[in-house]
Structure 1
């Protein structure tokens, strides 16, 4: 990026130092570290003992200068930026209560004027209010002398922050001196370079924040389509990251070299949040199918109405004929009706003898209001009530499974940057199996990345332990881990990742935060190895 032409007095070493600092700033991608680099570079360049970076925030008369980084070398103060130490100070207001520009504070004044202010001794200046500076000095047994306050002006001419340097020191000593005016053009050049870099990074961060918000909105929209899978799209990212963290800490086995940098972590998070985005195209009637006979309404009520009519018919017939077996017959009909209501709810497994009982009931008949003889269950109702697992039949499950095809179509159509290029592969692989029998592409384990295999385990474990599925009670950890172990044995999930999941107690960490107390029935995972 271009730099202002330095004054003739600047030597070649100074120029090289300035160019080196500029390049170092422009190479920094992490915003908090960039804040730190700006302060460090300015202090190093001017031999300043202290420095504060302020960033513009707010709109209109509510604008202010937020304390972003504070450093004082002699007091060993380092706060804000990437330090992990928060700055608990109110922003400097840029406007007074009556709406006039704030020229009382030197930083606010520099923002309004757009020019630097070089003060030789803060205690001898009456143009600005330095009461806060004096209070700091008294509390810290410090003495603020020289101040250099500069605007951070971007390429569009907007001032996006203020840089204030404190107490220039004579090189090699602790003696404080005024900031040399001859260096002002160079410091302004550094500030300008920092502002352009900072503006670019803030713009990138803004785009990233917008993408994050958009992604989370999509996930929330998917979860909102069905109360019975609510928060699934929010919990799978939690599990995926827990597994990835365990993999990053592995020091033996095939995952010992697995690692993620900042960009890799972000790529994984985006994929995890978007892994079910194709469900936006799935009919709500399928996502929200809470019982086997549910369509626009639960058709079990129609079946129950038939039973009510049949019981009334049987009662009338018995009264006319004096049938002594009436009570036993009515009891049997009521038991059958209750059984069908239970079968309609669904579950993890339906016994063959229960399926046969449904078919036996379907062979019975009743008389409708026209006098026509009708089957007690239609063929479709009988087939639905015999669904062995969950509430979906084969065709409905295939329609649900097609969401992964839509997910891939949506994600592969998006112009992801290079740093997010693997999002479609990560998100699109969570229904693949390591033996190649999964969908949509039938990939084998060695054709899948580690993150895609991690997401598959996360998706399964969340679904097994979810506490809001209408067709099953909240599954305890013992049952969920048994199912995962069996899937490992059948080569449906990656064996090494299952071992990592078990041994690093990812299941336990997740369960304590997201499951009900009654689900936490495992302490020692040895039985599930």
Structure 2
């Protein structure tokens, strides 16, 4: 056997690290000393740069200061006309020529006059002023000699000869020197003033403005100075190639930089004015961080600091530059430490070279030792990464001379196999959604993991463990046997496992066999030992147990693995049991709702129970097709559940429909049949006729004549009431002549002597108050449509045109109209327009109710399937007026099921159930009129579903022969029959 050594034998190889540490300390000391020297040098250079920049700035503005002071004492400050001012052009030209940085001289007068001479530098400026080609100077003048101010631009060549003079009235009206800061500041200051540097608009260069008040006059002389040469000064002062040297004002605007093009920023719009770049948008991250520092910088002292920007260290100095009569400026110098410390880095490299020569001889030795130690560790790291990525296909094969590394490799290999086995079992159990299939799957996987010969799974039922399934290792079922009621306490092994809440293993005892009903299991497997595994949920409550039978003892590692596996199995078992319980509860609730709807009205009977069966029969027939239109149609388990739920809930909206509307058997029926009120009025009229007859006889008229008249009147009243009563029964069609006779009967009157506004509900009283109460006694029509018969539709009963559900049903104006004549005149059936809408509205409520339910993802189609059974293929149905292509196949199937069930139902008191032939004939007309899906109706007939349904749900006398050849269409193969 190869000899192995502990890891501490190899610690001697660390001497290389000691050499590196010593060399690093020496190099660090040298680097620190060099860095301090270089930083001191950088401070001194920053101070020098500040002095040179200030001197350069002073040299720039000196000639301009002199020209401004001289000009403030010149006659031009007292000139009152343009001609007088033009006489000083020679002096101004000399002043401009002697100072290259001076771009313009000008005078602002107290009356608003303005006189400026500007030097034209290049073609861009000529283009800006639309000046002639030879233009060297531009005179800009505003004078007030006339009633209105006059503005002029005069273009001069280098000899001051006039090239062109332009009138600029807009210039005179838009510019007033007295409103400018330089004028106002100079008027309130005894000496010369300087504005903070800014960007000149005409030449897009940085400059400053000087101004002097002309003695005691109201004139102010100004000059614009360019600071372009400061950019060259900045370039000369760079300490290192990467150094940033910039001159800024207090607000962070950059006034000078070695690259003048970066100082000016052009806005994104073509007509926008250029602006000075700021520290924030200059493009240098280190300068961007200095913007807050400049705003609070000291005006007297230089500041230094070190900044870390984007992983790079910078040495920064900020020096104030103070000018007479102007706000202070600040010179910023930012030096990258990597360049500043270049000499220190060179020293460090030299030290590294020296140290490398020292340890050169030790490298072969240290390399060999490192390879011997780190090679297996690297392999183990790769194996650990493979485990992290759930890759368990290969075993761990690592060989190392280090004892600890070799033991770690063996442990990792065992761990890898265990995790793989655990995950395989957990995934297999978690993938099973059917609770009844889960139990044997769970037991099979656990038997395999425990290397057991058989096993029994128990589930708790009212704190009693009952066997759920028993299997041998080959998957065959164990003979069933019942445990004793006290199985937990009667089995020493299982009782101990439950008490300690851990898996336990022991030789199986007679008490265990007897208490757990394992007689047949032990005989079948020949086991001598058992493993008891309690199954505990998240709350550590017992949900079940497993007893695994083995033909030998179990080691601690396997027992620990089974214990860990049992926790996952218990959680999965509990989750699946909860899901199963929720589904059972949901199933019971939907059947409860459907049963309540059927029980609510005798008109629906078992409708809600029969439609699901017929819908599923039609869906199953479509799935069974192997050719033709429906050969590709299929439903998975989740989709079958959606069909089931939708079919049972397809009429859930009927819970909102009043019973007296659904059950309305006659036209005058509400909560009761109001024909009895009409009968009583006829009775009153008959009594009135008899009284009139007796009064006539008493008055001396012929009794025979009076009795004959009475007999005729009573016969007419009886006939009229019989007609009204027959109208009340409803029917397929009411002819116009009958409606006319109703109106004629309604015109008869009867005498009411009692107040009809007492003893009634508050709501009815409010409706009656829409019209004034008549004086009693009052004659009233025999049949009336009174104001109190009209129930207004409230806001909540209306349907917005653009409702979020897409309903497109015409809504009657009234909620209900209980008018007697109105209801008796209904042309077909017993329902008025308002009542018909109220019944049809059940599908609206169905969709609204189902849309509000938080269905899981696989049941999201339930509202669409359930709420589409009153739609028609031609788009004339309700509630959305959908066309065939807008409906799912299942919704179209349910429409057929709903119609066929309604036609053949025998539990509707208002009609007899149709025979098979009658129902199919009616539906064939609906197919022809594109009211139902023709392809699904053909499948309904060809598959014989109508016969199967009839055998289960229809009475024998309804089942007759049907020749379906007259109703089915020739076979067809459309591209997408279920679209």
Q: TM-score, normalised by structure 2?
A: 0.46
Counterpart in the other structure of 2:16 = none
Q: Deviation string for 1:56-85 (max 9, x for gaps)?
A: 222xxxx21232222235794269xxxxxx
Q: Deviation string for 1:172-229 (max 9, x for gaps)?
A: xxxx434444311111222221111112222222332333333333333433443322
Counterpart in the other structure of 1:469 = 908
Counterpart in the other structure of 1:387 = 826
CA distance in 1, matches of 2:659, 2:436: 43
Counterpart in the other structure of 2:468 = 68
SS at match of 1:93: coil
Is the 2:749–2:782 contact (alpha carbons within 8 Å) kept by the matching residues of 1?
A: no
Superposed, which structure 2 residues align to 1:414-433 within 5 Å? 414-433=853-872
Counterpart in the other structure of 1:136 = 520
Q: 1:165–1:341: structure 2 CA closer, same or farther, 3 Å change rule?
A: farther
Match of 1:41 among 445, 448, 454: 445
- Whether 1:493 and 2:932 are equivalent positions in the alignment is yes
- Whether 1:151 and 2:538 are equivalent positions in the alignment is no
Q: 1:258–1:388: structure 2 CA closer, same or farther, 3 Å change rule?
A: farther
Is the 2:429–2:572 contact (alpha carbons within 8 Å) kept by the matching residues of 1?
A: yes
Is the 1:240–1:272 contact (alpha carbons within 8 Å) kept by the matching residues of 2?
A: yes
Deviation at 1:447, TM superposition (A): 0.8
Of 10-19 and 144-153, more deviation after overlay is shown by 10-19
Counterpart in the other structure of 1:242 = 617
Counterpart in the other structure of 1:102 = 489
Deviation at 1:20, TM superposition (A): 1.2
Is the 1:307–1:337 contact (alpha carbons within 8 Å) kept by the matching residues of 2?
A: yes
Residues paired across the two proteins, number: 494
Q: 1:108–1:328: structure 2 CA closer, same or farther, 3 Å change rule?
A: farther
CA distance in 2, matches of 1:406, 1:252: 39
> RCO (CA 8 Å, sep 6+): is it higher in 1 or 2?
1
Q: 1:332–1:90: structure 2 CA closer, same or farther, 3 Å change rule?
A: farther
- Whether 1:186 and 2:540 are equivalent positions in the alignment is no
CA distance in 2, matches of 1:16, 1:373: 96
Q: Deviation string for 1:406-460 (max 9, x for gaps)?
A: 3222222332221111112112212211111112211110111011111212222
Deviation at 1:329, TM superposition (A): 7.6
Is the 2:456–2:467 contact (alpha carbons within 8 Å) kept by the matching residues of 1?
A: yes
CA distance in 2, matches of 1:520, 1:335: 41
CA distance in 2, matches of 1:360, 1:439: 35
- Whether 1:32 and 2:436 are equivalent positions in the alignment is yes
| Structure in which a larger fraction of residues adopt strand | 2
Is the 1:346–1:471 contact (alpha carbons within 8 Å) kept by the matching residues of 2?
A: no
Deviation at 1:488, TM superposition (A): 0.8
Match of 1:93 among 470, 485, 503: 485
Counterpart in the other structure of 1:260 = 635
SS at match of 1:402: helix
Counterpart in the other structure of 1:356 = 737
Of 372-381 and 252-261, more deviation after overlay is shown by 372-381
Q: 1:511–1:372: structure 2 CA closer, same or farther, 3 Å change rule?
A: farther
Counterpart in the other structure of 2:504 = 117
Is the 2:893–2:936 contact (alpha carbons within 8 Å) kept by the matching residues of 1?
A: yes
Q: Deviation string for 1:234-283 (max 9, x for gaps)?
A: 33222222221112112233322121111111112222222223333333
Match of 2:944 among 481, 505, 509: 505
- Whether 1:368 and 2:745 are equivalent positions in the alignment is no
- Whether 1:162 and 2:545 are equivalent positions in the alignment is yes
Is the 2:439–2:468 contact (alpha carbons within 8 Å) kept by the matching residues of 1?
A: yes
CA distance in 1, matches of 2:716, 2:955: 38
Match of 1:21 among 425, 428, 443: 425
- Whether 1:403 and 2:787 are equivalent positions in the alignment is no
Counterpart in the other structure of 1:321 = 705
Match of 1:304 among 679, 686, 700: 679
Is the 2:453–2:525 contact (alpha carbons within 8 Å) kept by the matching residues of 1?
A: no
SS at match of 1:148: strand
Q: 1:108–1:398: structure 2 CA closer, same or farther, 3 Å change rule?
A: farther
Is the 2:595–2:608 contact (alpha carbons within 8 Å) kept by the matching residues of 1?
A: yes
Counterpart in the other structure of 2:575 = 200
Is the 2:490–2:515 contact (alpha carbons within 8 Å) kept by the matching residues of 1?
A: no
Of 406-415 and 365-374, more deviation after overlay is shown by 365-374
Deviation at 1:463, TM superposition (A): 2.2
Counterpart in the other structure of 2:661 = 286
- Whether 1:450 and 2:885 are equivalent positions in the alignment is no
Is the 2:491–2:516 contact (alpha carbons within 8 Å) kept by the matching residues of 1?
A: no
Q: TM-score, normalised by structure 1?
A: 0.81
- Whether 1:57 and 2:464 are equivalent positions in the alignment is no
Deviation at 1:159, TM superposition (A): 2.2
CA distance in 1, matches of 2:960, 2:718: 37
Q: Deviation string for 1:295-320 (max 9, x for gaps)?
A: 12111222333444455566775975
Q: 1:75–1:413: structure 2 CA closer, same or farther, 3 Å change rule?
A: closer
Q: Deviation string for 1:13-38 (max 9, x for gaps)?
A: 44422221112212222212221210
Of 243-252 and 204-213, more deviation after overlay is shown by 204-213
CA distance in 1, matches of 2:590, 2:427: 34
- Whether 1:478 and 2:917 are equivalent positions in the alignment is yes
Counterpart in the other structure of 1:344 = 728
Structure 2 alignment gaps of length 5 or more: 1-387, 389-409, 695-702, 753-776, 786-818, 969-979
CA distance in 1, matches of 2:729, 2:528: 78
Is the 2:454–2:473 contact (alpha carbons within 8 Å) kept by the matching residues of 1?
A: yes
Is the 1:65–1:92 contact (alpha carbons within 8 Å) kept by the matching residues of 2?
A: no
SS at match of 2:921: helix
